[in-house]
Chain A
Amino acid sequence: MTDIQVSISDYAVARAGTRLVTVGLGSCVAIALHAPAHRAGGLAHIMLPHAALSNDRSSPGKFAGTAVPHMVEQLRALGVTGRLEARLVGGASMFEQLLPPGGVPLGSRNVVAARAACADAGIAVVAEDTGGGHGRSVYFDVEAGCVLVRSVLHGDRTL
């Protein structure tokens, strides 16, 4: 099995025999899309909830709202048809005590935006490991559709 590294603000799609990997999710969210019938999938490492928060919109993988449609389009281009399912990982809130009182942490906003982006694309979110205060890494086997979540503080977990 070959590994494809997905860096921050980026996304990738792949067929069976590939593992999509993204490491060091803090407030960022990984959106893993899986097409069970075609044993293919895509993984995005989004950093911000909305494109309106940034002037630099050159990378669609940076925002939840643009990453999902781009991944779906590329999966369709690979010949993937039919139902997709989504798994969300990340969106932690680190240094929480330094946030302004009453402020919504970026991680939570990213998770909400990722759910909304999946809903807009008609994709069901089947599993999540989001929130909390710890960092995570994602190892997504696109063939089986299983997502291994690693963290320093809470060990491994499979979604």
Chain B
Amino acid sequence: MEAITSLKSIQLDALRETANIGAGHAATALSQMTGSTIMINVPAINVVRMEAIPSQFGDEEEPVAAVMMHMLGDLSGRTLLVFPKPAVMRLAELMLRRPLGSSTALGELETSAIKEAGNILSGAYMNALSDFLGMLLLPSPPSLVIDMSRAVLSSAYAQFASDPDCILCVESEFMLTDRAQSLRGFFLLLPDPASLQVMLRALRLA
């Protein structure tokens, strides 16, 4: 736990840069997949107690779609891709090459398209990380949940975190701009505390 709370600013900068490389590759993949322009923000690193995790969504009851995958191999942890529900419909339409606004229900095909988007994004992110850090990273199959934002995020943290007192969350924001719309989404990297040390060692900053 001290390992996480006592991170120096140079270590945080290195982690932010690592996340930026990952998010950059993921954004390129998403851009190619959807044929739209994707912008990413500088990643934010949050080190907080579970109950103090800032919400990316103003309304805690807002429905969101979240694709979670385990990260296995030399690092362990989870990746989470979160979109507000209206955005996720548009994402499914882009993936399935349908006209905008033509889909109303999330059926099996749409669900599968969203999971696949999560798969490709996390895959690109982890690939970039494993190249940069010289490690083997493997993704698990994705799991999709559509529910209120607070419930989804708190479950994602609480259910799988090894230490509920201190969560390290690396957050990258995506903006997808197309002809007539802009979609916002988040990519969260949640490394286990032990893996954080492994990452820092690979960055020669342990």
Contact = CB atoms under 8 A, between A and B. Distances in A.
Interface of A: 7-10, 23-28, 47-48, 53-56, 59, 62, 92-99, 105-107, 133-137, 150-153
Contacts of A151: 147-148
B153 to A, nearest CB: 8
B63 to A, nearest CB: 5
What size tier do the contact residues of chain B reach? 20 to 34
A150 to B, nearest CB: 8
A55 B151 contact: no
Contacts of B153: 26
B159 A94 contact: yes
Specify the main secondary structure of chain B where it touches its partner.
mixed
Nearest to A99: B159
A94 B147 contact: yes
Interface of B: 1, 49-51, 60-61, 63, 68-70, 78, 140-141, 143, 145-156, 158-160, 164-165
Contacts of A25: 151
A24 B150 contact: yes
Nearest to B78: A98
10 contacts: A24-B148, A24-B150, A24-B151, A24-B154, A26-B151, A26-B152, A26-B158, A95-B145, A150-B61, A152-B147
